[in-house]
Amino acid sequence: MSARRPDRMSTRAVHAGLRPNDDEGAVSAPIYQSVTFAAPDTDTLEAINTGKARGFVYSRVRNPTVMAAEQRLAALEGAESAVLFASGMAAVSGALAPLLQAGDEMVALPDIYGVSIRYFNEILPRMGVTVRWSASSAPEDVAACVTDKTRVIYAETPTNPLVRIVDLPAISKVAKDAGALLVVDGTLGGPMNQSPLELGVDLLIHSATKYLNGHGDVLAGAVVGARTHLRGVRSMQPAHGGVMDPHAAWLLMRGMATYPLRMKQHNATGLALAEFLEAHPAVAKVHYPGLASHADHALAKRQMTDFGGLLSFEMHSPQAARHVVDATRLFAIGPSVGGVESLISQPGNTSHYSISPEARRAMGISDALVRISAGIEDVDDLTDDLTQALEGCS
């Protein structure tokens, strides 16, 4: 039986990481809301510090509740290890910190989350790292950016907001040929829909704020992968500082317990809304990889088991796009994705707000584009709401 079957995943989502350090039989992992863990004596403290004994000393270094959540996430991904961070952005910077130093280069694929673009363009260069932007996700364009200084190739799949899919085995080959590591932000796919680590990705990043937690109440990030690849991430994290709080880790664990159930609904609703919008005369184009009309449909079918809850669509004018967003009643207007509640926004006002309008247009993000994160409400209520919001638009 494949380790990736959803039924196996549902079991792991509930059971993995349940008892980090507790023999009392609690069916909910205890929250160790403690900064310091007292050692019985100095010898033991030294043994823990040097890794010769198991234990906890200080929560910026290691905390039992955070560790339990890391075990659950690693189990969901079928990975050896996971390191949690205080946010998705802390995970992006925490994954790259051990891999890059002054003089090194990173090749970035296009269509990256707006704030990651800021990090690559504004912060990495200040640290002496050159970021080369590939003209497209095609392996030959990515390979053309590789030099003997390339240490990392960075991609995101699926992408936001056009939900493009990156061919991971092909880009992994480019990375291997270059002697570089492939780092991928897989937030919008998630372990239910794709297995990037099985397709040649070395370090997988999540904004666990999104589908993994799923309730819009926790900021969280994660880096997942083989222990050897995570060694640097874990050892630098206490100095990096962006660690997860134990209470947030507990909320994330609770979110992950229902992740497979919720994700099934996000997938079903995402497809239903995409099909509904594609058939609507007021809508010019729909971007959703589960649609046969999507540029990456064949690749998505090869690489993913389902297509997620994020979709975007183009109206015939920026005014119509603004109207639809404002006219919906059930959809909340705002950023983020992957929560139980459906969201709607124009990417120029949310995920790509920090990118200039010209750069946005060059990325194919027009002012007539609307993005939806499908929640888990009744799909008929969502289509009824879109029907009334689209009324009068042409």
The order of strands in the sheet holding 310-315 is 283-287, 310-315, 369-373, 343-345, 332-333
Is residue 89 a contact point for ligand PLP (CB under 6 A)? yes
Compare residues 119 and 276 and give the one whose CB is closer to ligand PLP: 119
* H or E element that contains 287: strand 283-287
Kindly give the interhelix angle for 246-257 and 64-77, rounded to the nearest 10 degrees.
30
Compare residues 66 and 89 and give the one whose CB is closer to ligand PLP: 89
Residue 58, SS3 per DSSP: strand
Q: How far apart are the first and last CA of the chain?
A: 50
Question: Cα(17)–Cα(73) distance, rounded to whole angstroms?
Answer: 9
Of the candidates 88, 189, 191, 260, which one interacts with ligand PLP according to CB under 6 A? 88
Question: Residues 313-352 vs ligand PLP: string with x where CB under 6 A?
Answer: -----------------------x--------------x-
Is residue 87 a contact point for ligand PLP (CB under 6 A)? yes
| CB 48 to ligand PLP: min, Å | 30
Is residue 209 a contact point for ligand PLP (CB under 6 A)? yes
As annotated, the active-site residues are 60, 113, 185, 210
| CB 205 to ligand PLP: min, Å | 7
Question: Cα(370)–Cα(384) distance, rounded to whole angstroms?
Answer: 17
Is residue 183 a contact point for ligand PLP (CB under 6 A)? no
Compare residues 208 and 286 and give the one whose CB is closer to ligand PLP: 208
Q: By the 8 A CB rule, do 257 and 15 touch?
A: no
Is residue 113 a contact point for ligand PLP (CB under 6 A)? yes
Residue 350, SS3 per DSSP: coil
Kindly give the interhelix angle for 259-278 and 246-257, rounded to the nearest 10 degrees.
70
| CB 322 to ligand PLP: min, Å | 22
User: Any idea which residue has 């630098």 for tokens?
Assistant: 236
Is residue 185 a contact point for ligand PLP (CB under 6 A)? yes
164 half-sphere exposure, CB direction, 13 A CA radius? 17
Is residue 224 a contact point for ligand PLP (CB under 6 A)? no
Q: In angstroms, what is the C-alpha Rg of the chain?
A: 21
Site for ligand PLP in 129-168 (CB under 6 A): 156, 160
Is residue 219 a contact point for ligand PLP (CB under 6 A)? yes
Site for ligand PLP, rule CB under 6 A: 87-89, 113, 156, 160, 185, 187-188, 207, 209, 219, 221, 336, 351
